[in-house]
């Protein structure tokens, strides 16, 4: 059973990306994955600052690294701000990728990233569904030695996409998210052998 981590780059209560992360996590569970749905709001992580880091890496950054490291496969659901991913997502990745000097586990750079299989989704109220955020997230994650799934999905008009139970209203949207789940789990299983 593949351990899959799912998280969204928004902490907004009514976030479309959080809704998409929840709906996708449900699909992944139904597909047999052992899913962890991480809410970034549950972590107390400040804006990255190297002076702060030199004093001590925040405890929740270590927790974040441990959660990421424990999952060979991830699905990241990215909002789009100004044609790119959010500061929250960048800050989360920056802290997670920053080596902890002298630490027995986390002193090597890229440790929670190298070799991870990552599926990418985005959601936006706009027609393009936040697609441009993914075009920026792809090279960032490749640079961190992740395997990026070519199958990706940008959910446009996201405000109309979910019913009151948080389920996909459209079969096409559900199948598109499922295709990302399927490829992520398939690739993670292939890489694990
Ligand atoms: C500063 C800012 C910039 C934005 N830029 C874009 C954009 O370039 N493309 C887009 O589709 N939506 C853009 N939006 C709208 C977001 O897609 C929208 O706020 C969305 O609900 C954010 O994701 P969330 O619902 O998961 O929080 C922007 C929103 C903000 C606050």
Distance 28 CA to ligand 1 centre (A): 26
Residue 85 CB partners (closer than 8 Å, separation 6+): 9, 78, 79, 133, 136, 137, 140
Residue pLDDT tens, the chain, 193 long: 999 999 999 999 999 999 999 999 999 999 999 999 999 999 999 999 999 999 999 999 999 999 999 999 999 999 999 999 999 999 999 999 999 999 999 998 788 999 999 999 999 999 999 999 999 999 999 999 999 999 999 999 999 999 999 999 999 999 999 999 999 999 999 999 8
Distance 52 CA to ligand 1 centre (A): 29
Residue 42 token pair: 């549950």
CA 95 to chain centre: 14
Domains of the chain (ranges; CATH) run 3-192 (3.40.50.360)
Q: Which atom of ligand 1 is nearest to the CA of 8?
A: 26
The answer to whether 121 touches 130, Cβ cutoff 8 Å, is no
Residue 121 has a pLDDT of 98
Please tell me whether residue 187 adopts helix, strand or coil conformation.
helix
Helix (H) or strand (E) holding 140: helix 131-143
Closest CA to 174 of 54, 20, 43, 37: 20
Ligand 1 neighbours by CB, cut-off 6 Å: 10, 12, 15-17, 79-83, 124-126, 128, 130
């Amino acid at each position: 059973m593949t351990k899959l981590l799912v998280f969204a780059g928004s902490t907004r209560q009514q976030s479309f990306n959080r809704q998409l992360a929840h709906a996708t996590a449900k699909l992944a569970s139904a597909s047999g994955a052992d899913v962890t749905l991480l809410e970034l709001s549950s972590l107390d992580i400040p804006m990255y600052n190297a002076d702060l880091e030199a004093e001590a890496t925040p405890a929740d950054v270590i927790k974040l690294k441990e959660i990421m490291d424990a999952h060979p496969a991830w699905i990241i659901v990215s909002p789009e701000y100004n044609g790119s991913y959010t500061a929250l997502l960048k800050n989360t990745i920056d802290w997670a990728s920053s080596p902890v000097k002298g630490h027995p586990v986390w002193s090597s750079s890229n440790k929670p990233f190298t070799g991870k299989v990552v599926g990418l989704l985005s959601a936006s109220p706009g027609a393009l569904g936040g697609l441009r955020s993914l075009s920026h997230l792809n090279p960032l994650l490749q640079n961190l030695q992740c395997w990026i799934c070519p199958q990706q999905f940008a959910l446009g008009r996201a405000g109309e996409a979910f019913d009151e139970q948080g389920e996909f209203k459209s079969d096409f949207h559900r199948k598109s998210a499922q295709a990302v789940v399927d490829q992520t789990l398939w690739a993670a299983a292939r890489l694990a052998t």
